[in-house]
Structure 1
Amino acid sequence: MEEYGIYLSFNNLMDLFRLPVNPETLEIKESGNSKSYDIIDFGEINTISAPKLMEITLDSIFPAQNYPFVLVSDTSLMTPFEYVKIIKKWMESKKPIRFVFSGIASPKEQNPKNSVALNMAASIENFSWKLSAGNSGDIEYSLTLKKYVFYQAIAVKVDKGEVKAETKRPNDKAIPATYKLKAGDTLWSVAKKVLGDGSKYKVIQKLNGISDSQLTKLPVGKVIKLPQGG
């Protein structure tokens, strides 16, 4: 019988863990968004709108010890409060996480081969937890996630009466606070790779107090600060 697992990740897999104990049930809520109206001399009509975003609720435990039913190894199993701390940190970030319900293969593997059953960005709508009765140290929790749809403002340009819009694929990866220079790196290449715009190298230069004469003599291994918020 194929083994299934649930993975939660954040910041393009920079933070990732597998739920150590699968929930007994996985409640998935999908509903329409239709509305009814009463029309004089006609009666009730129903308009069909786009469906509401999917919600997933799961209840399980974060175990304090490696029981026979725990799905992760001793080295991967964290303490119950570590799991709670990570989820609370994700909630405070106000950024979406990623929910993956998959077969044996981890989301980090290159070729899962049809193992992924559900993979979506999600917001944490509710997270409640409590210590289990007795002295086990386990934490019981309930977690509700809601499908997250990336959106962005689109800049438009009118050219000879024609409206043109250019969209970019949204990215849920956060900009790191620092970057460690590697061989061959320049501030321009770092700005292009991390910020998506090489011309922003001057912002990095000013932020780190690097003079023009030092631009061609950047030491490998030097840790530089990166601008936050774009």
Structure 2
Amino acid sequence: MEEYGFFLSFNNESEAMRLPVNPEKLEINASGDGKSYNIVDLGEINSIQPNKLREITIESFFPGQRYPFVVGNTLYTPYHYVEMIQKWMEKKRPLRFVFSGLNVPESSLDEKIKLNTQIGDIESERFRSNEAFMAINMAVSIEKFDWSIVAGDSGDIQFKLSLKEYVFYQALKLKFKEAKTEVKKKRADTKEASSTYTVVAGDSLWKIAKKKLGDGSRYREIQKLNKIPDSELRKLSIGKVIKLPQKEAAK
């Protein structure tokens, strides 16, 4: 005969359970994530993308008594199963879902296979042999868990469990290098800025050079800088603004 089992384990199989009543069906939703595009002169094309995570839906019940169809040697109270699943959901960590089948003679089933609450106990020597096959073994997250008590069910708890495939990943630490901004310092201008002087009554270039530059003989520099003709040297226009050279004569 064939013995099927539905198992959930948590924290590397330190906690585990076998569903005491096998569901009538196991619903698995697997779909791709392709995208369609319309191309000129070609029409619609499909870009194949990696598949979406698989989703599993299980509907069954936790029995309040040992019915003939209950599987496994150990049966807990219905609330024990409910509390265990709720506790796993609160941990916010992935679980391991296993759906497996065993091909063994009916006479030796009880002797050869011990189905307990630990996956390690579930998998006996015969389970690991070629007489066993494993249909599904994957990490999952519990997305939804609905349960209810129905009158007249002798304490049974009906439930619907929605699982989603979980892919282990590790966040990478990114190191950011601070951009070094070089501030170019502007070279100080050692060149003295030129100054100006406004001519007043009685001024001559020689007087201006003597007063502003400390040397009257430098009047020629002022004349040359301001392009003053010789004809205007004797009589400068009052109010005329003239440029003055640097106080130190250029060597």
Q: What amino acid does structure 2 have at the position aligned with 1:21?
A: V
- C-alpha displacement at 1:144, in angstroms? 1.1
Mapped to 1, the partners of 2:42 and 2:101 lie a distance apart of 52
Cα deviation per residue 1:96-151 (whole Å; 9 max; x = unaligned)? 01101112466413652243221110001111011123151100111111110000
1:48 alignment counterpart: 48
Mapped to 2, the partners of 1:52 and 1:23 lie a distance apart of 25
Question: Is the alpha carbon distance of 1:60 and 1:29 closer, same or farther for their aligned partners in structure 2, counting shifts above 3 Å?
Answer: same
Q: Quick check: 1:2 aligned with 2:2?
A: yes
Matched residue SS, 1:128: strand
2:161 alignment counterpart: 143
1:95 alignment counterpart: 93
1:130 alignment counterpart: 148
TM-score (norm 2): 0.57
Question: Is the alpha carbon distance of 1:46 and 1:135 closer, same or farther for their aligned partners in structure 2, counting shifts above 3 Å?
Answer: closer
Mapped to 1, the partners of 2:14 and 2:37 lie a distance apart of 48
- C-alpha displacement at 1:31, in angstroms? 0.7
Mapped to 1, the partners of 2:94 and 2:16 lie a distance apart of 13
| Structure 1 gaps, min length 5 | 158-230
Mapped to 1, the partners of 2:151 and 2:41 lie a distance apart of 62
Matched residue SS, 1:27: strand
2:242 alignment counterpart: none
- C-alpha displacement at 1:41, in angstroms? 5.1
Q: What amino acid does structure 2 have at the position aligned with 1:93?
A: K
Please identify the structure whose Cα radius of gyration is greater: 2
- C-alpha displacement at 1:82, in angstroms? 1.1
2:107 alignment counterpart: none
1:22 alignment counterpart: 22
Cα deviation per residue 1:193-230 (whole Å; 9 max; x = unaligned)? xxxxxxxxxxxxxxxxxxxxxxxxxxxxxxxxxxxxxx
1:82 alignment counterpart: 80
Cα deviation per residue 1:35-86 (whole Å; 9 max; x = unaligned)? 112345543221100111111111001000111111122xx21111111111
Matched residue SS, 1:51: coil
Question: Is the alpha carbon distance of 1:11 and 1:46 closer, same or farther for their aligned partners in structure 2, counting shifts above 3 Å?
Answer: same
- C-alpha displacement at 1:2, in angstroms? 1.3
Query: Percent of counterpart pairs with the same letter?
Result: 57
Matched residue count: 155
1:64 alignment counterpart: 64
Mapped to 1, the partners of 2:149 and 2:174 lie a distance apart of 53
Q: What amino acid does structure 2 have at the position aligned with 1:150?
A: F
- C-alpha displacement at 1:155, in angstroms? 5.4
TM-score (norm 1): 0.62
Matched residue SS, 2:2: coil
Mapped to 1, the partners of 2:54 and 2:76 lie a distance apart of 29
